Structure 1
Amino acid sequence: MTDRIWEDLLSEQDKQVIQKAGYDSEGASSWESRGTGENPMVLIIDVQQLIVGENVPILEAVEEYRTAMGEIAWDAIEHIQSFLSFARERDIPVTYTRVVPTSYDDPNHEDLAIVDPVAPEPEDTVIDKSYASAFYGTDLLSRLVRDDVDTLVIVGNSTSGCVRATTVDAQQHGFDVVLPQECIFDRIEASHKIGLLDMWMKYAEVLETAEVETYLESMGDDE
């Protein structure tokens, strides 16, 4: 059973609402908000140098880049690295996004590079974006349709920003979304927990990484 990391933020009334309204078992009432398909893709959101920074406490990391998350990011990257290896071994396709802020004239600036432990392989697609959602102003949707992808397994950051925006857009475009919670991070703990809660209630499966790996393993069993 998944460890719901947001439970400590909920009042007793919140817990009762979630249970009585059926969010714990069914998700959103207006659409199919949880599920897993037969053709998943791993989408790695913005795990870049200017967002990750050095492996130091976040209050030190922001001294170099104001957007950096330091140890918070590196703790998640350790999980992402292992999960990515697992997915690759099972031939699950992998796509990356990079945010390219308007303040950068050079899209190849070292600050924008995806960090080495989870760097793309030559065959991987890397999509540059300017806004929160990986769908907005990019060709991601057409790529997913062309490749017959029905499920996005999303990792990276930030929970309350780009991950959430991409998750909502994916759901609205008819894709299932799976979030391995240890592989997602945010600079603010409350935002991280509430972001996962909101997405779990309305837009996505939020699972422990081991549970997601079991799902991906079952894709291989069907071949």
Structure 2
Amino acid sequence: MSEQEDLAANYQRAFGKRIGYGERPALILIDFVQAYFDPDCALYAGVDSALASALRLQKAARAAGVPVIYTNVVYTPGGADGGRFWQKSMTLQNFEAGSPMGRWPDGLTVDQGELVITKQYPSAFFGTSLASTLASMGVDTLIHTGLSTSGCVRATCVDCCSHGFIPIIAREAVGDRHPGPHEANLFDMDAKYGDVESEADVLRYLETRKQQA
């Protein structure tokens, strides 16, 4: 990249394509759990606005008959099932089975029949049934919301692409503890793996699914 060429122009030459939405979406809410909303927890991220956006998308998806999927993280006491991720992190003890930090935050409810994927690693696909479940549903597009942008959202996005599903990342409905990694990872996901779209654009798309239901 030359000194005169800005970052967006440089990436546009190599990564400027859009995938676009598919025909059969599902919505995923990644790790919206209490740890990120409790100021006394080391994982606190100040992401109330991301949850509010995700809940608006949840409401629209339900109205359109689009599947809604949730993830959480649960470990056995001591983290024997956490492997190197547990070894690396200073915070995963907050997700030991029974910890209040692992519960859904106020305002988030899971309806009967909606799927909860419990995971131990960043990606919602790794070591879970998510890919086969989406395939059996005929889903081709996975709308990403959740926490954190630079961690489990990004990991899920990359695996979503790798498994052949279209990753759509709802910009306002993902969050991180600092704007630097948040924006950098949105930029990178949009450039290389999926499409980052505004909440308003995703809501319009979900409305078309309702009309076709």
Secondary structure, aligned partner of 1:97 = strand
Q: Classify 1:222/1:115 alpha carbon distance in 2 versus 1 (closer, same or farther; 3 Å).
A: same
RMSD: 1.8
Deviations 1:31-73 (A, max 9, x none): xxx22111100010000011222xxxxxxx2xx1101113xx1
AA at the equivalent of 1:176: I
Counterparts of 1:1-12 in structure 2 under 5 Å?
12=5
Percent same amino acid among aligned pairs? Answer: 34
**2:74–2:95 Cα contact (<8 Å) kept:** no
Secondary structure, aligned partner of 1:169 = helix
Match of 2:119 in 1: 129
Asked if 1:116 is matched to 2:90, the reply is no
Match of 2:133 in 1: 143
What's the offset of the Cα at 1:193?
Answer: 0.2
**2:95–2:101 Cα contact (<8 Å) kept:** no
Secondary structure, aligned partner of 1:180 = strand
Counterparts of 1:1-223 in structure 2 under 5 Å?
12-19=5-12, 21=13, 23-24=15-16, 26-27=17-18, 34-53=19-38, 61=39, 64-70=40-46, 73-101=47-75, 102=79, 103=93, 107-223=97-213
TM-score by length of 2: 0.85
Q: Which runs of 5+ in 1 are unaligned?
A: 1-10, 28-33, 54-60
> In structure 1, how many angstroms separate the alpha carbons of the residues matched to 2:183 and 2:95?
34
AA at the equivalent of 2:28: L
**2:63–2:210 Cα contact (<8 Å) kept:** no
> In structure 1, how many angstroms separate the alpha carbons of the residues matched to 2:6 and 2:55?
38
Q: Classify 1:105/1:118 alpha carbon distance in 2 versus 1 (closer, same or farther; 3 Å).
A: closer
**1:84–1:118 Cα contact (<8 Å) kept:** no
TM-score by length of 1: 0.81
